[in-house]
Amino acid sequence: MEALLYQVFSGLANGIIYGSVALALVMIYQATHHINFAQGEMATFSTFIAWWLMQEGWGYWAAFFITVGISFVGGLLVQRIVLRPIEKAPVLTNVIVFIGLLLIFNALAGMLFDHTIKSFASPFPKDSFLATKYFSAHQIGSAGVLLVVLFALFAFFRYTSVGLAMRAAAQNPDSAKLVGIRVSWMLGLGWGLAAAIGAVAGMMVAPIVFLDPNMMAGILLYGFAGALLGGIDNPLGAVFGGLLVGVLENLLGAYVIGTELKLTVALVLIVGTLTLRPDGLFGKKVVTRV
């Protein structure tokens, strides 16, 4: 029983990270109806920026917020410069460009910060008051950070007019234009937010798995699985999806398949969700009258 609980809690702790990545993916999907294959590499690159800032002497939280800010602007610029010209192009063109971005960010990380594995500080040291029997201080801290991000996003979308405008632009860009919304900028905003969230996810993951250019590859897959499981258009669902994936990964790994096929578990979850329940567990079914 003890072992089972441990697996569940450990899964939840991992799930928090997957949930953050899933959240970033859903953010871009909601805004642009595209899946950002480069999300993992962007998050890794952001984490490298934070690492570099700390190497240059900045304190953790200063580096954290500066990185989030830079990532936001970076995501916005990527959308404005690289993606806007192909907004109306076919899906294949967009997918290819996303893969191109994936490669470029990965290469940039390698070229600027080399391939040696680096350690990344956690703002929640091991002996902090946060540590409990089942969760380390870092895991509780990360969960707290993610919750703050979630609340901020929820408030943004629910209570601000820009948030409402973003939702409108994503659902019905034509009508959004007619009420004076600059739809193109809303897409950029979506990318900026996703990049910022990805940066947070990267900075929460790096202390655990150590920082190198390929840090996020496997985690991205779990993020996809979580986003799909929760419903690709539902931010809260994405977080739950991520938690669920984390728990399933551990339970299936410990009791069913063995720990070596974890990525296959993610694959099965993705394919299974896409074919059996494409709206995910919490995806909104929008009612439209003809």
Partner 1 sequence: MAKLFEAKKLCAFYGATQVLFDVDFSIEQGKITTILGANGAGKTTTLRALCQIVKTTGSMTLNAGNGDVQIVGKATDAVVRMGVAHVPDGRGTFTALSVEDNLRLGAYVRSDRDAVAKDMEHCFKLFPRLRERRTQQAGTLSGGEQQMLAISRALMLKPKLLLLDEPSFGLAPLIVAEIFRIMRQINEEDGVSMLLVEQNASLALNLAHHAYLLETGNVALSGPAEQIKNDESVRRAYLGY
Partner 2 sequence: MKPIDKKWAWIGGLLLLAVLLVLPFLVKNYRVFQFNLVMVYAVAILGLNILTGFNGQISLGHGAFYAFGAYTAAILMDKMGMPYWGTLPIAFVVCFAFGFLIGFPALRLAGHYLALATFALALAVPQLLKYKQIEGITGGVQGIVLSKPEPPFSFRFLDQPFSADRWLYFFTLAVTALMFLIAWNLLRGRVGRALIAVRDHPIAATAMGINLPVFKSMTFGVSAAITGLAGALGAIVVAFVSPDSFTVNLSIFLLVGVVVGGLASIPGAIFGGIFIQFVPNIADEISKSAPAAIYGLVLIAFMYLLPMGVMGGIYKLWFRLRAKAPG
35 binds partner 2 (CB under 8 A): yes
Instruction: Tell me which stretch binds partner 2 (CB under 8 A): 5-13, 142-150, 217-225, 239-247.
Output: 217-225
Tell me how far apart the alpha carbons of residues 85 and 96 are, in angstroms, rounded to a whole number. 14
Q: Please identify which residue in the block is written with the tokens 């946060």.
A: 130
Exactly one of 188, 192, 202, 213 binds partner 2 (CB under 8 A); which one? 213
92 binds partner 2 (CB under 8 A): yes
221 binds partner 2 (CB under 8 A): yes
Judge residue 24's burial from the number of C-beta atoms within 10 Å of its C-beta, 0-12 exposed, 13-18 middle, 19 or more buried: buried
Is the separation of the CB atoms in 223 and 22 below 8 Å?
A: yes
Residue 276 corresponds to which tokens in the numbers above?
A: 């059996």
Comparing CB distances to partner 2, the nearer of 217 and 281 is: 217
Maximum CA extent, the chain: 60
Answer with the entry of partner 2, partner 1, none that 54 interacts with (C-beta below 5 to 8 A by kind): none
Kindly report the CA angle at 181 between 152 and 154, in degrees rounded to 5?
15
Exactly one of 102, 146, 200, 243 binds partner 2 (CB under 8 A); which one? 102
Comparing CB distances to partner 2, the nearer of 8 and 261 is: 261
Amino acid identity of 265? Answer: V
Residue 62 corresponds to which tokens in the numbers above?
A: 């200063």
CB of 222 to partner 1, least distance (A): 28
238 binds partner 2 (CB under 8 A): no
Amino acid identity of 52? Answer: W
Comparing CB distances to partner 2, the nearer of 66 and 82 is: 82
Is the separation of the CB atoms in 180 and 42 below 8 Å?
A: no
Q: Which residues contact 279 (CB under 8 A, 6 or more apart)?
A: 231, 285
Comparing CB distances to partner 2, the nearer of 17 and 143 is: 17
271 binds partner 2 (CB under 8 A): yes
Point out which residues bind partner 2 (CB under 8 A).
34-35, 37, 82, 85-86, 89, 91-97, 99-111, 115, 213, 217-218, 221, 224-225, 228, 258, 260-264, 266-267, 270-271, 274-275, 278
